[in-house]
Amino acid sequence: MRVCVIGTGYVGLVTGACLAYIGHDVICVDNNEEKVKLMKSGQSPIHEPGLPEILTESIRQGKIEFTTDIATGVKHGEVLFIAVGTPSLADGRSDMRYVEAVARSIGESLTDGYRVIVNKSTVPIGSGDWVRMIVLDGMAGQSNDQIEFDVVSNPEFLREGVAVYDTFNPDRIVVGSDSDRALQLMQELYTPIIDRSFAENKTLAPVPVVVTDLNSAEMIKYAANAFLATKISFVNEIANICDRVGADVKEVARGIGLDSRIGSKFLQAGIGWGGSCFGKDVSALIYTAADYGYSTEILKACVRVNELQRILVVEKLQQALKILKGKTIGLLGMTFKPDTDDMRDAPALTLIDQLSRLGARVKAYDPLVSQSGLRQGFSNVIVETDLERLADGCDAVVLVTDWQEFLAIDYAKMLRLMHHPVIIDARNFLDGKALKALGYQYIGIGR
């Protein structure tokens, strides 16, 4: 099938490259010329494991192209994906300017034939009908009555760091539309994934496809992220009680996670959630509910607990070191999660701000950020290029991101370089007993 993906961020580029890899003819559109040149050369502008290989093979097979010309993409595609950003505004609303601009451009560029316009971006409930209206506005002045289109909601459930895996091994595919014709086309598009032809385990049953209306499909995305964010905030609240009563939250999480009604995923206590999705989507859902006169008390508490959890790490440092003014604090990890270079709403940024405000010097090391040009772009932090420089002269080290390579650090050597042997494990990721045996004052979350 002929596919056009507009927007080549984490969602758009992964979607386009994976659809090309399974055999579709894909054109990806982005208005950033430098980015398009980079992708044409086979390089990925984002760090995502497995993506460079998928991209290179799709280009070699002639299945994917890149352009800045949206009209070229629209003319090519039977299925047109809108995959541009919808960042949060100050009041919690989603910023829909980019979606609006793309929808209008699609309308201006439509030619003869039938198209399915797919909202892949996370958009507020009701956006399907709104996008239809904007596309029609873009078509104003065209007298061609041979143009037909339907709008579909097809939310993504990709996790950064494993997005390629998630594309080929989804828990479900959600498609919302009131058009049987559009739904049939989407089923055809995803058939190789539904049939698990490209799955890691090809013996599993076909991927469940949730076929529903536009509004419900949009709500599924928000509800899923809101629930996961709430689950993390819940276990963090339990961890804070554990700290006070002498229980170990890792044991508690293991015990409750074995209950099939609860499950073990997203029960890892720590510094809280970050990234581009949870905060944005929970805020958007709170704002939408308020539009209809409903106050979302659980979701508001979820956000508040997450904010406090970041400050909790600073409080633990104060308890261990007393005065932070004039102290040097090292951060292990900066990105919001491992295997990505994404710094959006990363907990490390909150720590840097809070510690700087209290007069501490902050140093940081991250496997990706430290080796990239990004390391020059941060204020109030010295981004070190190796672990020895990070540890040198530190009064405490905080593990912020649970990169696997941090398990293999020579912590004995690091200890000899530090002023004080304090380590805050903000992800409960390290072996606390082993670190204590080396002479560290090990402090976890809820342990």
CA-to-CA distance for 293 and 83, rounded, in angstroms? Answer: 30
Q: Measured in Å, how far apart are the chain's first and last C-alpha atoms?
A: 53
277 included as an active-site residue? yes
- 415 a known binding residue? no
pLDDT of residue 92: 84
- 13 a known binding residue? no
- 268 a known binding residue? yes
- 35 a known binding residue? yes
Q: Of the residues 4, 18, 242, 277, which is catalytic?
A: 277
Tell me the residue type at 371.
Q
- Containing 17, the helix (H) or strand (E) segment is helix 10-21
C-alpha dihedral over 423, 385, 350, 163, to 10 degrees?
-100
- SS3 of residue 425 by DSSP: strand
Among all chains, which residue has been given the structure tokens 């198209």?
Answer: 115
**Distances from the Cα of 22 to the Cαs of 36, 157, 339, 421, in angstroms?**
22, 19, 24, 52
- SS3 of residue 362 by DSSP: strand
CA-to-CA distance for 368 and 401, rounded, in angstroms? Answer: 11
pLDDT of residue 377: 64
CA-to-CA distance for 4 and 213, rounded, in angstroms? Answer: 23
Residue 191: burial class (beta carbons within 10 Å; 0-12, 13-18, 19+): middle
pLDDT tens-digit profile, the chain (447 residues): 999 999 999 999 999 999 999 999 999 999 999 999 999 999 999 999 999 999 999 999 999 999 999 999 999 999 999 999 998 888 888 899 999 999 999 999 998 899 999 999 888 888 999 999 999 999 986 766 788 999 999 999 999 999 999 999 999 999 999 999 999 999 999 999 999 999 999 999 999 999 999 999 999 999 999 999 999 999 999 999 999 999 999 999 999 999 999 999 999 999 999 998 899 999 999 999 999 999 999 999 999 999 999 999 999 999 999 999 999 999 999 999 999 988 999 999 999 999 999 999 999 999 999 887 665 668 899 999 999 999 999 999 999 999 999 999 999 999 999 999 999 999 999 999 999 999 999 999 999
- SS3 of residue 331 by DSSP: strand
Among all chains, which residue has been given the structure tokens 């050369």?
Answer: 41
CA-to-CA distance for 199 and 58, rounded, in angstroms? Answer: 17
pLDDT of residue 372: 74
pLDDT of residue 146: 81
- 205 a known binding residue? no
Domains and CATH numbers, the chain: 2-212 (3.40.50.720), 214-447 (3.40.50.720)
pLDDT of residue 360: 98
DSSP tally for the chain: helices H, then strands E? 16, 14
- 280 a known binding residue? yes
CB 24 within 8 Å of CB 98: no
- 344 a known binding residue? yes
Residue 118 pairs with which residues in a beta bridge? Answer: 81, 152
pLDDT of residue 408: 96
- 160 a known binding residue? yes
pLDDT of residue 144: 67
